[in-house]
Structure 1
Amino acid sequence: MIDDIAVFDANDIENHIEALGALLHACVHDGASIGFVLPFSRRESEDFWSRNVLPAIREGRRRLLVIRKNGCIAGTGQLDFDTPPNQPHRAEIRKLMVHPDFRRQGIARALMVELENIAFHLGRGLITLDTRTGDKAEPLYTALGYHTAGIIPGYCRDPLKDHLDPTTIMYKTI
């Protein structure tokens, strides 16, 4: 059972930087294709939160959702709505992560549903995301009503080995 789901503000991020860093570090070391490759240190994990996410949250360009389970940060997801003037109707899901110890418990689904609710309340009717083609999350996105726009071959480096993976670009109208 999920303890709670919360929107983290800048102070929350600063107060939980080590736990957020531990989540990202564990996910990357488990093979998650979320922008990082091995070797990948805890310090680099914490730097991502402080240098990338924190400024976007402070400037009101992104929302960060956090799910706790058993008192631990079990998962996070970001909604980026920093779009150009011709795309005020769109938002992007970024860095959906669930700690390997908490997978297959409905956390990713709960994060996605709440991110969609936030997008709707912000007046964003189109949500986009990308995921490594064939990844475990792809069937979840499809089950939630996301459609495949296309696949880009050789899009990103695999986090664990020297190999380029394709990515699937997906979207949903809400």
Structure 2
Amino acid sequence: MRRALCCSALSLLSGLLLVPLASAKTPPPWPADLLPLVKALQKAGYQVRFEKPPIQGAYGATNARKKIIWVDPITIDLGIGRQTLIHEAVHGAQGCPAGKLQTIGWKNEMVKSVDREVAGILYRNYSHAKFDVEREAFAMQGHPKAFELISAALKQRCR
């Protein structure tokens, strides 16, 4: 009796373990609202990885020479996934065609308080040589037509 109970419990347990595996669908790696920009980056030749970037402490990273963009999945939980992808996508567009980041020339004005905050981030975290490309990427993060503008820049610059 005890052996039969043990085997039935084991059978039930293994059945429970197999059911979720068989019926679980792998969720898409990217949230649906970010897919248009991810696809534009892929069309431009970028690998877009939804994984922890190779730079410690960074939420996103871009290697324009190798055409790889990383966005840490935790950015979705933090509510900054869209902004992070936009920021890195701007660097993707800036990196075309030569693999070296150069400003695109967008003149996006930021609210004065946001501009001051961005300036603080730039001075604390970036070399002076990167200020212009970083400022352009930060300014685009809040732009209502960011996906459209970046997609157009990718088409134009990443041939």
Q: Is TM (by shorter chain) over 0.5? A: no
Q: As a proportion of its length, which structure holds more strand?
A: 1
- Normalising by structure 2, what TM-score? 0.29
Q: Which protein is bigger by CA-based radius of gyration?
A: 2
